[in-house]
Amino acid sequence: MNPSCMQAPRKQRGVVLVVGLLLLMVMTILGVSSLSTIGLEERMSANAYDRSIAFQAAEAALREGEQVALTQSQNGNNGFVNGGIYSPTPGQCGNSPCQNGLCSQPDPNCTVRWLDSGFTSWSPTQTLMLGSLAGTAEYFVEYLGTGYPCNPSDTTTNLNCKRYRITARSRRVDGNGNPIGAEVMLQSIYATP
C-alpha cells in the first residue's frame, strides 16, 4: 500500500454547510423580492389598462354629447329649458335648470357643475357597450350662448355661431356610490353654425 494515500482524515469544520446556507438565504431573498416586484408591475399594468378603458368610455360619451349638441343646435335648442337661456341674479347663485343632460347657460356665481357633488343631471350614454369594465359613462351639455365667431381666424364677422360645453366622465362606483378604479373626465367646447 502506498502510505501517501492512507493519510489520517483532517478535522472537518463545516464551512461548506455555512456557505451553502448563506447562498440559499441570498437566493430566497432574491426570489421573494422578484415576486414582490412582479406583483407591483402587475398592479401597475392593471391600473393602466383600467385607465385606458375609462378614457375610451369618457371619450365615447363626449362624442355622443357633441352629437346631441349638434342636434339641439339644428332644432333651435328645443330640448333645453327656455331654449338654454338663463339670466343669473348678480352676486347670487341661482338655479340654472338642467333636464335629461341638457343644461341652460351656467350661472357664473355658482360652482361649476362638474365639481358640484350635488349635481345629478348627468345623462348616461346610449351607444357605449363596454360593460362593467368602464363602469358608467355619462355626459351633460351646457348651452353657452350665441354671438361667437363661426370662423376662429376671423373674429369680427359672422358672429352668430352657438357654443356648447360638453362634459363627459367615466367612473365605476361601489354599492355606496364611492368611486373605485380609474375615473376620467373630459370636456370640449363645441361650435355649431
Q: What residue spans define the domains of the chain?
A: 17-192
* Distance, CA of 143 to CA of 73 (rounded, Å): 10
**In which band, very low, low, confident or very high, does the pLDDT at 114 lie, cut at 50, 70 and 90?**
very high
Q: What percent of the chain has pLDDT over 90?
A: 37
What average pLDDT does the segment 155-172 reach? 86
pLDDT of residue 192: 83
Residue 167 has pLDDT above 90, yes or no: yes
Residue 189 grid cell: 367646447
Q: Max alpha carbon distance in the chain (Å)?
A: 118
pLDDT of residue 102: 95
pLDDT of residue 67: 94
Residue 52 has pLDDT above 80, yes or no: yes
